[in-house]
Structure 1
């Protein structure tokens, strides 16, 4: 095993040298600039000795990767510093990662813009997808697919964003100044000022506390998510529609749009109360009101801006349409003072008058001025379309179908509620509530369930059914779990019960296998029958990736989820149901993460059908929606994949590959699950995991409002742990076990003739060629191995071994490391790669460049963790200092590795 570790360390050094040599000049320049400015700030604040210590550690971890010094020597250096010095150094590396992440984001944006020359569609863009659809489908088939297209991202508050909001905003200010500094048209004085401002903002980032001092409450999480809407989503969404419209036909912006609004945002933030007692009916009410305030403000500002630009005079463009003229007259009758003011401000500019009147009505809607307010988004859309039709009739199609069309798309997408707030609760809570109601003794928990349903009714009365109607039941085991919600609704509100679409959530392996039977039972529920009839026989089912992966391991869970998708798609076809599968995916690979567009193309045939709904969690929200250019690219990639995955040709190829390699996949899944369970279900494993990882301390990071585990005390089994801290803690140990463990055993078993387990040795057998074929031909299998390869690339064997040794169970440590070695070797053999991430140069470069600096933080974390885990009592102040160092290092490692939860 030691020889294996030495070979891998040497290989890592070679790979890192290769990665460094591939860094583009523009990226290298930005990293150097930001790093030098940070170094200057550190020296000014902490003295040159602090900067010297930071540099010593930086050079030492790089030398350790080159095998020029041992990790023991690095650990000794770190141990020789006072804890306070370790805290300062951890802050330095954490700030450095924030700046490197920013530099890479800027380079990615520049690269996207440089590639978009207009000469050919970008790969994975809507324009390219439409071109392929035209080749594969007839005009009617293509029109139906475009008409049915839906993309539903659902923002969740799952606590995987380790950065404080203050840190995020500081980084955004640095980003603005870096853009100014690099702008090619800036003069010397402007560039000098941008440089000064960069230094000022980096200095402020250094002085900003990285750790939260107070725990987030759910409304803090709602307000944090609003930043993505305010800064990116509101403006990006109509541009996506414009991209599709332009791809569908010439003349976009001068004709009626061919693209419809197909994106609908959802949110669990303030609605997900499963295991979170902090989410109450009052919180849900406030969450909707906060969302409404933001979207109505945005709509008011956009309408005012567009209205002010419509300065075309009736003297030159002709009079408004009779419909708009009548509407203006009615407005003058209803609100004479406002109409007179607008006519004075915009004489002979009827379209300008009208849109400014509409903006005043939106403002009144926000203020709850019922005399002037709109009753619904449909009323607003009617007024906007009246203006659009009038402009088109007067010979101004560019004004009719340009920015005004963007505003119409925004109203269609966001309404007055911004995102549909979805409620989630555990099936057992409902069962207990019904039992208590039958007995006549209602607890506070049950009363809160009833209050939540009454609050849904209030939201629907205020903002419409679209604002809140989905009720997700986690751990759905039977149709009775769905019927329970409808029965509770009758108890809560009687004849005024809200419209509810109750969504089953299948999470365990057993529940996934039984999912179609549960849906069959749901068809017998009268309330479900009513919703199917009213909604065009639409139904939604949620699949949980996190808990299934935690239970079965990554390989077995992947196949189980695929089988469930295939069975549910067949069930829907047989029962004339338009099924939407809601994918509960996390950001990390151990929770179903990875590139979303590749995941879509790997779905079971018939399970997409032009519709894709998925959770967007934690750090993923800001990684994907923090910048307009990146958000635009992400949404286009996912949407293009949804369109292509829904074509008969792609479905046929996927179905053929799935049938051909079905037995092979079953052998991989069965053996991988056995290997995974042999570790995670072994006596003493949960306790060992608690010792080798910062699991206990992660709860002190105050990442979110939700408790980190079910129940109190140390975890006694994996069931006690939520999937997020399970994955987050393993990432901190540099093991990343949830993303790959068991796969190596599965691949090895699949190489054996007839699927027989090897008696001796770990060399692959003759089935290796079939595995390689499956990797080339079956998107699901390729996605599984590619994601595992990414997770393996973020694993560091030397550092991981030091964490695993903390648990005092060398048998567990050896088992984990042996499976890592096997998995790494066989993944490379099957993919045909000579090194991890060989085919993904950009990601490989990012991982290899970060690794040594993550190593530095890991050594600091190990120093703190070892002391906290050592026998003997620690003084309270010493424990506090060590916990601060530990938590700062956790924060920094999360910034370095990125998708950690």
Structure 2
């Protein structure tokens, strides 16, 4: 398959185009060899016709393309869909390689005075800006010692590829990278192309789709892959470089606290997922532990090979000698090599620890030894090696593998990542209701007022007597919830307290929701009646109404002395999670963003009044419709004081792969989070709220957008039928992309649908409605009401206010990926003609109005004018996306008319895969 020319592309894109052409040519040769010349010719004809239509806006080409696609047999349809889908995946690989190329070019370019490459969004550049702002090295060290930057991986299912497919794609990426980095001989170059052809052929012969539904532990295994790809190697290196950057003038690089801490929901998030049980959570923690311990053991094996230092050639410390003498290693060849003996001792103890934790060890130790009681003991032994090397002028050796291993042990412990527990507040309420009713019949907790609930719960939390009795029979749901909490207590004993640090309450509606969790934690020993807690109790505010009341709820909660003591026991830090996805589905893109922003302002004020440090946990998805977009800009657009050196943020779906499958890109994305946290905390004024007239204008603007969005989605009769008819929502539910059900209930109501399939469905039909709908109406209504301010004022908002600028920038990207012509074909799937015409006309008008208003405010003539690289990328993908959309529509029509045809359904699933790959952040 050839590719379209990127007309007007910069010279910097030459290598990208070359990579895409290379991969397209190899894929085309593979299609010809595997499927035959007629299929290859068909694919090429479709490609060339689609390119001609997009390049020249050629109407005859569009009709020709549709005729070709409509005339294909089902077998040819599946082959064409696979070809175009694989091309999207290969184009993504080439673009990622281009991003890596640009990162390297920047990091090898001009350096700042501190000796680190200057680059926007990177940690080094943020430190340079801080120094320019007269922030001292001591203050920077103090900042990082109290900072927390925590990416939290979730299993929210928008990654439609199989692990096997991902592995093959990563092999192709490695081969491209090798061709880029190494100067190959002619023979090596020929061998490299043959390897590439072999990898693409294997990819072609690998099923794109999963044959069976993922289980939770399958999702855990997939998530753990990214520790091998990126986190275990790059997190320690980021900390090491930062220590060097913040070293004293004498060159001392005293250890900094590990501020980058990985988190996970995979295996602990049971909100709406009945498959996350206590046993599954135990299995998750065990898998995480196994990954961490085997990494340490492999690193120790390599370290032992490196530290061949002889005692007769270099001094060692007394404590190192004692560690070596306690080694069980009987080999005479290592008798004079104290470091190797010491490493053998550490390895044997860690291997014994693994056996105690029921972790399989890949390489047996030389002899038996006592296991470590905890990760701290392991760290102490590593520190002995470090101190001995430093004391004996071997610091350069200490700065290699040993340094990274010491930092890894501090970052990842024996638990690897902190596993969050999450459950819906309604489940907690039912559990508490049953516990009280069994203990004191007639209590009727669920019927109590909020004040009465608070009084009852606070009394019980501070009472040492248990509420649960082993002699009472509880419901299956209550037993399951209690088992989860007991498993969390067990995890603290086995893996350490960092194994589970957060208990998150979805759909938090009141103070009692947090106190219910405190009581459940007390019943398993994780909250002490005297006022200490071993977990953070975290409210999650998700809907528009919840966001509007969250500050009031937290104000009342922090005023309770008994709860305030629990916060004090957690370092006087209270975490609050804000939900982007559900608030967007509830109120639309504009209002969701605005209510989140307002909530943060109000929370900052409440927490400052109570003298408690606020840590925000941002539940952002990959797509703009679920709070996605560039992380750096999003963090800097927060109101003043909302990023106080600590931030947690979800990483979801296919964005996990795009960000963290490659170590170079992964390191950059981690540094972006850290740099933005530093910038937002130290370089923005503490009270940098915008002018009052901006806030008032945005409140009014949001109300207009909210009315337009709610008017369509929730108040238009028949909209639910339109949505289910014009999108792939029903077919997504049959795609094996995750363990979680698509809806919270069996109804078709938008309210019960999860935000992920809601956004994913609109992306597939190329409308992207959750990322823009209501904006155009809001602009029209605002200008009509304020003719004196008008468009000039909105332009001022865009120019002066980072929040408004980010809002429009994200909308710019979403609208650029949309296609009203493609969307109209999906609308035709709705059988009710009147309903179809009425609703689609509204959507089309809003789409055009939103684009016109957006361009006028930004001062642009076309979408993505300010981001030419992304503009070219999207434009060059359209010729490969449009045929997939066309085929998907026809397959949907056939599937819905003929019923269960496995071949047709498989074709739909393949198109979902290909369109998702082409759009990248689609869910």
SS at match of 1:646: helix
TM-score (norm 2): 0.90
- Comparing 529-538 with 548-557, which one deviates more in the overlay? 529-538
Mapped to 1, the partners of 2:5 and 2:616 lie a distance apart of 41
Paired residues of 1:456 and 1:469 also in contact (CA < 8 A): no
SS at match of 2:313: helix
Paired position in structure 1 for 2:518: 486
Please state if 1:317 is matched with 2:351. no
Paired position in structure 2 for 1:560: 595
Structure 2: 5+ residue stretches without partners? 112-117, 358-367, 439-472
Paired position in structure 1 for 2:34: 45
TM-score (norm 1): 0.92
SS at match of 2:153: strand
Q: Mark the CA change 1:817 to 1:19 in structure 2 (over 3 Å): closer, same or farther.
A: farther
Mapped to 1, the partners of 2:340 and 2:693 lie a distance apart of 63
Q: Mark the CA change 1:118 to 1:362 in structure 2 (over 3 Å): closer, same or farther.
A: farther
Paired position in structure 2 for 1:698: 732
Mapped to 1, the partners of 2:293 and 2:710 lie a distance apart of 51
Q: CA deviation at 1:525?
A: 5.6
Q: CA deviation at 1:275?
A: 0.3
Paired residues of 2:726 and 2:829 also in contact (CA < 8 A): yes
Paired position in structure 2 for 1:468: 500
Structure 1: 5+ residue stretches without partners? 1-14, 333-337, 757-764
Mapped to 2, the partners of 1:148 and 1:18 lie a distance apart of 49
User: Could you tell me which of 393, 404, 407 is aligned with 1:406?
Assistant: 404
Please state if 1:357 is matched with 2:345. yes
Runs of 4+ in structure 1 over 6 Å off: 494-498
User: Could you tell me which of 577, 583, 599 is aligned with 2:618?
Assistant: 583
Mapped to 1, the partners of 2:432 and 2:655 lie a distance apart of 37
Please state if 1:814 is matched with 2:841. yes
Q: Spell out the pairing of 1:163-562 with structure 2 (5 A cutoff).
A: 163-249=161-247, 255-257=252-254, 259-318=256-315, 320-329=316-325, 331-332=326-327, 338-341=328-331, 344-368=332-356, 372-440=370-438, 442-491=474-523, 499-523=534-558, 528-562=563-597
Q: Spell out the pairing of 1:526-675 with structure 2 (5 A cutoff).
A: 528-647=563-682, 649-652=684-687, 654-655=688-689, 657-675=690-708
Mapped to 1, the partners of 2:370 and 2:162 lie a distance apart of 40
Please state if 1:852 is matched with 2:850. no
Paired residues of 2:521 and 2:527 also in contact (CA < 8 A): no
Mapped to 2, the partners of 1:436 and 1:478 lie a distance apart of 19
SS at match of 2:574: strand
Paired residues of 2:141 and 2:246 also in contact (CA < 8 A): no
Q: CA deviation at 1:312?
A: 2.4
Q: Mark the CA change 1:549 to 1:492 in structure 2 (over 3 Å): closer, same or farther.
A: same
* Deviation digits for residues 197-230 of structure 1 (CA, Å, limit 9, x no counterpart): 1111111111111111100000000000111001
SS at match of 1:623: helix
Q: Spell out the pairing of 1:103-118 with structure 2 (5 A cutoff).
A: 103-118=94-109
RMSD (CA atoms): 2.2
Paired position in structure 2 for 1:4: none
Mapped to 2, the partners of 1:474 and 1:526 lie a distance apart of 24
Mapped to 1, the partners of 2:411 and 2:868 lie a distance apart of 36
Mapped to 1, the partners of 2:78 and 2:165 lie a distance apart of 17
SS at match of 1:514: helix
Mapped to 1, the partners of 2:5 and 2:24 lie a distance apart of 19
Q: Mark the CA change 1:447 to 1:251 in structure 2 (over 3 Å): closer, same or farther.
A: same
Mapped to 2, the partners of 1:345 and 1:453 lie a distance apart of 51
Mapped to 1, the partners of 2:290 and 2:670 lie a distance apart of 25
Mapped to 2, the partners of 1:16 and 1:566 lie a distance apart of 47
Q: CA deviation at 1:137?
A: 4.2
Paired position in structure 1 for 2:920: 898
Paired position in structure 2 for 1:777: 800
Paired position in structure 2 for 1:836: 863
Considering fraction of residues, name the structure with more helix: 1
Number of residue equivalences: 859
Q: CA deviation at 1:22?
A: 6.4
Mapped to 1, the partners of 2:105 and 2:542 lie a distance apart of 43
Paired position in structure 2 for 1:68: 58
Paired residues of 1:180 and 1:191 also in contact (CA < 8 A): no
* Deviation digits for residues 34-70 of structure 1 (CA, Å, limit 9, x no counterpart): 1111111111111111111111211222233233235
Mapped to 2, the partners of 1:738 and 1:523 lie a distance apart of 35
Mapped to 1, the partners of 2:433 and 2:756 lie a distance apart of 31
Paired residues of 1:540 and 1:579 also in contact (CA < 8 A): yes
- Comparing 19-28 with 536-545, which one deviates more in the overlay? 19-28
Paired position in structure 2 for 1:100: 91
- Comparing 297-306 with 118-127, which one deviates more in the overlay? 118-127
Q: CA deviation at 1:371?
A: 5.5
Paired residues of 1:453 and 1:493 also in contact (CA < 8 A): no
Q: CA deviation at 1:629?
A: 0.5
- Comparing 267-276 with 125-134, which one deviates more in the overlay? 125-134
Q: CA deviation at 1:260?
A: 3.2
Paired residues of 1:301 and 1:359 also in contact (CA < 8 A): no
Q: Mark the CA change 1:288 to 1:525 in structure 2 (over 3 Å): closer, same or farther.
A: farther
Mapped to 1, the partners of 2:560 and 2:205 lie a distance apart of 59
Mapped to 2, the partners of 1:768 and 1:650 lie a distance apart of 28
Q: CA deviation at 1:462?
A: 0.1
Paired residues of 2:589 and 2:625 also in contact (CA < 8 A): yes
Mapped to 1, the partners of 2:6 and 2:174 lie a distance apart of 31
* Deviation digits for residues 385-435 of structure 1 (CA, Å, limit 9, x no counterpart): 122112111121212334322111111110100000111000001111122
Paired position in structure 2 for 1:707: 741
* Deviation digits for residues 317-367 of structure 1 (CA, Å, limit 9, x no counterpart): 22x2223333344x25xxxxx1434xx343333223212321222222112
Q: Spell out the pairing of 1:783-822 with structure 2 (5 A cutoff).
A: 783-807=806-830, 808=833, 809-822=836-849
Mapped to 2, the partners of 1:885 and 1:407 lie a distance apart of 47
Q: Mark the CA change 1:774 to 1:435 in structure 2 (over 3 Å): closer, same or farther.
A: same
